[in-house]
Amino acid sequence: MFIVCVSVFVKPEYRDAFIEATFENARNTRKEPKNLRFDVLQGLDDLDRFFLYEVYRDESGMDDHKATTHYKKWRETVEEMMAKPREGIKHKNLFPEIEEAFQSK
């Protein structure tokens, strides 16, 4: 599995628009064949802080995702909404086993 965790800080006046654009991207990403999970989280202590948790079968799934129209639209739409550049950190899965994730899809 290939996992990307993205931290996003949004300007307060764009919070609702960011959520709407991100939900659209997440819904479409979940339809991608190599996407296993896409969570959108919002900070409880800072409502303008978001965390995107994306899980793909492999790294090529993320590459495929970045080539989609919905991702490109999201990236362009939210760019001006961010208080600072987003930070994505890539991970590999250690637990649970990869097979367990495939069985749940």
The 10s digit of each residue's pLDDT in 43-92 is 999 999 999 999 999 999 999 999 999 999 999 999 999 999 999 999 98
pLDDT for residue 104: 61
- Contact between 24 and 84 under an 8 Å Cβ cutoff? The reply is no
pLDDT for residue 95: 82
Average pLDDT of the chain? 93
Q: Which two tokens stand for residue 31?
A: 């339809």
Reported as a pLDDT band with limits 50, 70 and 90, residue 93 is confident
Domain count, the chain: 1
CATH classification of the domain holding 18: 3.30.70.100
Q: What is the DSSP letter of 13?
A: G
Domain of residue 72: give its range. 2-103
Reply yes or no on whether the pLDDT at 101 is more than 80: no
Question: What percentage of the chain exceeds 70 in pLDDT?
Answer: 91
Q: Distance between CA atoms of 32 and 82, rounded to whole angstroms? A: 26
